[in-house]
Amino acid sequence: MSGWRTLLFNGGLGLAALIGQVLDQMSVIDWTAVLPPDWVPVVLFAVGVANVALRHVTTGPAGWRRAAADPAA
């Protein structure tokens, strides 16, 4: 598994948080209805554990670093 999955996981979470925050500011959704405030620490912990797990199963850097090191790839 390459580093792309870790990058995609974190990018997806970041994008979801950004979209959620923008929709909350526009009063389209109520962020606290999606994620109650007392659940925030649990979710942050779970995301951290998922990142550690992804990093442990990732065999190397993200794909662009490998491609830069080996132009034939």
Q: Which pLDDT does position 35 carry in this prediction?
A: 80
3-state helix/strand/coil string of 4-72: HHHHHHHHHHHHHHHHHHHHHHCCCCCHHHHCCHHHHHHHHHHHHHHHHHHHHHCCCCCHHHHHHHCCC
- On whether the pTM is more than 0.85, the answer is no
Per-residue pLDDT of 15-68, as tens digits, reads: 888 887 888 788 887 878 878 888 888 888 888 888 888 777 776 665 555 555
Q: In this model, does residue 73 exceed pLDDT 60?
A: no
Per-residue pLDDT of 31-46, as tens digits, reads: 788 788 888 888 888 8
